[in-house]
Chain A
Amino acid sequence: MLRKRIIPCLDIKNGRTVKGTHFVDLRDAGDAVELAQQYRDAGADELVFLDITATHERRGTVADFAAEVGKVLDIPFTIGGGVKTVADAKAVLDAGADKVAVNSAAVARPELVTELAEALGRQAVVVSVDTREGGVYVRGGRERTDWDVIDWVEAVQAAGAGEILLTSIAADGTKAGFDLELYRAVRPRCRVPLIASGGAGTVADFVEVFAEDLADGGLAASIFHYGEVEIPDLKAALAAEGIAIRPV
């Protein structure tokens, strides 16, 4: 039986892990490669790194970072942020990442998703979707697009997305729980793996989203970074609720 995945997300700026609330207010949470190893040891099933470095020379930086992570990590990881072309994505995958996540670049040019899927296989293509009140947002949640979230999720699947990482902007950083209504609406329209993101604050929040089978994985950042939820405890609690997880 396929296990529900616990996925810590690390926002990366110049090789350091930072975490914002509602996409701003960044706090330093430590060296990214070191943190990645700690999560692996704690029983994370997969990691997501979102590069938020603002630089024109980012491609090389991100690929170098992926190479450093790949040396130590024996679980899958995804890199997002700054992937705008097949060449960007290929550099990151060649460096050892398993998947790339695209967001704003896919909205700007939906054909990118197809190009990536054709060049790299759809299993390597994650489309990251930031949503609020049924709309799709880009540029770190600052700019609303014309897309309705369900239409967009269907469009990117048709284009070649192999996984959807769906973040509720309103829930993100609140620690008030995943946006269950959002996943109830999207899940029946999603034929590829769906990762819930935004709002996880407690073990119970993960139990909720998985007990209803609303997602294949749950992603969170600050609660893991600051030790508010420990992955071994989380997995033990999920197992006790009868949810299939990979034991630590």
Chain B
Amino acid sequence: MRTAIIDYGAGNTRSVSNALTRLGEPHTLTADPAVLGAAERVILPGVGAAASAMRGLAERGLTQWVRECEQPLLGICLGMQLLYEHSTEGDTPCLGLLPGRVTELPPGPQPVPHMGWNTLSTGEMVYFVHSYGCPVGPATVATGTYNGQTFSAIVRAGHRWGMQFHPEKSGPVGAELLSQFLQA
């Protein structure tokens, strides 16, 4: 199996799976470390709260597996936030694969959650749904801005990738970004 989607009870796994099917990408949905280990690349989806998602990984004995996996790894939305050291959402220690803290988007003229189509610093228009944002750092490939706060929208550090928006729901643009990861 080329791509494995981590099934840990906190993901919009079906949407990601549908997107991979549309791209013709063979994939499986699994929480089995052996199956994950055999995949060429791994996607960590995620919706909901950071604490329950980290608990979902821990309950399946996957926390350390994700930390140590050497295949290309893509965290989507909350899955990307989990790659950082800590989230202020529920004061949650996260995976610590990227430096910094995930913080709540500031209140401002625009409503929170940040929900809808917005542009990346690289020009693409994608669909966001989130209330927390990841810090900008050396891994940042593209940023987004909301209520005056700039956050990481695409990150890449070695084999680890993250997308704060939902590529699986971002039309042809999202499909293109997903296929870039699938070619990694």
Chain A residues in contact with chain B, CB under 8 A?
A: 1-3, 5, 40, 45, 67, 70-71, 74-76, 93-96, 98, 119-124, 162-163, 190-194, 216-217, 246-247
* Complex Cα–Cα for A3 and B119 (A): 9
A216, B116: Cβ atoms closer than 8 Å: yes
B19, A2: Cβ atoms closer than 8 Å: no
Partner of A2, one of B18, B117, B169: B117
* Complex Cα–Cα for A74 and B14 (A): 12
A-B contact count (CB 8 A): 90
Kindly state whether residue B139 has any CB partner on chain A within 8 Å. no
* Complex Cα–Cα for A93 and B166 (A): 15
Q: Chain B's nearest CB lies how many Å from the CB of A98? A: 7
Mark each residue of chain B from 1 to 34: 1 if its CB lies under 8 Å from any CB of chain A, else 0.
0000000000011110011011000000000000
B18, A5: Cβ atoms closer than 8 Å: no
A74, B131: Cβ atoms closer than 8 Å: no
Mark each residue of chain B from 81 to 112: 1 if its CB lies under 8 Å from any CB of chain A, else 0.
00000000000000000000000000100111
Chain B residues within 8 Å of chain A by Cβ, number: 36
* Complex Cα–Cα for A96 and B113 (A): 20
Chain B residues in contact with chain A, CB under 8 A?
A: 12-15, 18-19, 21-22, 47-49, 107, 110-119, 125, 127, 129-131, 146, 166, 168-172, 174-175
B19, A3: Cβ atoms closer than 8 Å: no
* Complex Cα–Cα for A122 and B47 (A): 10
Interface of B is mostly: mixed
A98, B12: Cβ atoms closer than 8 Å: yes
B18, A71: Cβ atoms closer than 8 Å: yes
On chain B, the residues within 8 Å of A123 by CB distance are: 47, 113, 115, 129-131
* Complex Cα–Cα for A121 and B129 (A): 11
Partner of A1, one of B111, B118, B170, B175: B118
B116, A2: Cβ atoms closer than 8 Å: yes
B125, A246: Cβ atoms closer than 8 Å: yes
B18, A193: Cβ atoms closer than 8 Å: no
B18, A70: Cβ atoms closer than 8 Å: yes
A74, B113: Cβ atoms closer than 8 Å: no
The residue in chain A whose Cβ has the minimal distance to the Cβ of B129 is A123
B117, A45: Cβ atoms closer than 8 Å: yes
B125, A3: Cβ atoms closer than 8 Å: yes
A98, B111: Cβ atoms closer than 8 Å: no
B169, A74: Cβ atoms closer than 8 Å: yes
Q: Chain B's nearest CB lies how many Å from the CB of A206? A: 15
On chain A, the residues within 8 Å of B112 by CB distance are: 191-192
On chain A, the residues within 8 Å of B175 by CB distance are: 74
On chain B, the residues within 8 Å of A190 by CB distance are: 111
* Complex Cα–Cα for A144 and B18 (A): 41
In this complex, which of B21, B47, B112, B116 has the most chain A Cβ atoms within 10 angstroms of its Cβ? Answer: B116
* Complex Cα–Cα for A95 and B17 (A): 11
A74, B171: Cβ atoms closer than 8 Å: yes
